[in-house]
Amino acid sequence: MARRFGVESGIIGVTAAAVVSVVVAGALAFSNVGGPSKAEAEGVGSGQQKAKRAAAPVDSSIAHSSDRPGRSLNITIDDGPDPVWTPKVLEVLKRYHVKAVFCMIGPQAEAHPDLVKKVVAAGHKLCDHTVSHNTAMDKKPQSYQSQQILDAQKMIEKAAGGAQVEYYRAPGGAFTPYSRKLAADHGMRPLGWNIDSKDFEGGTVERIESTVRGELPTRSGPTVLFHDGGGDRSRTVDSLNRLLPWMQSQGFGFGFPQR
């Protein structure tokens, strides 16, 4: 049939070509009826991705457990990013193939967008740790809590080039029912911790290591708290260099807090 159309007159050839074009166009149109295109289905475009994230429900309870089954830990790093200590923490995490959640203070992220982007590029996740790190957040009015949480989220996501902030951690654990719901409504799961390394206190690397080792066997799916900001974090870096391989030798894997 195709060969015959090829030798017919110009009028017939044009008519046949038009018929084929109509049939093909109709088939293509019909193929899209009742379902989105691949690009639409995958949410291509930052606007669509943000809308998709906003539509996904987030639990407002405080997360502690890991999304990784079995013997698993969540490593969380607070109070950065810091131009001295965040790169060193990133190096240690890379050395042992560990992913972590970085709980960032809004103005710190705004001041160091290059570090925020490095954190994201390395496969780590972002957490909102407010604008001012006020550990009395739970004593403040809702308007203050809202400003602290939402302004920080905007600062961090802008510094990250649009990457989503997936968690919210109240400074000092000063959550309120309002702040938890507000964070969840904006796509951020409230994030707690099971084990405090105490790396922010004055003390030796051995003390930090002993604190974590001592508490680890008593926790199920623990989230461990470290810091990369707020002061000299050389002890944190040294502690992570010791603790991460030890954790792996004990059969622990590393995941992210449940969403």
Catalytic residue (choose from 64, 78, 124, 133): 78
Containing 127, the helix (H) or strand (E) segment is strand 125-128
Whether 227 is catalytic is yes
* Residue closest to 212 by CA, chosen among 201, 198, 228: 198
Catalytic residue (choose from 186, 227, 228, 238): 227
Query: Would you report the helix, strand and coil content of the chain in percent, each value rounded to 5?
Result: 50, 15, 35
What's the CA angle centered on 168, arms 64 and 78, to 5 degrees? 80
CA distance 19 to 50: 43
CA distance 114 to 112: 5
Whether 112 is catalytic is no
Which of helix, strand or coil describes residue 51?
A: helix
* Residue closest to 194 by CA, chosen among 71, 63, 60: 63
Check: CB of residue 233 under 8 Å from CB of residue 203: no
**Residue 9 identity (one-letter amino acid):** S
Instruction: List active site positions.
Output: 78, 227
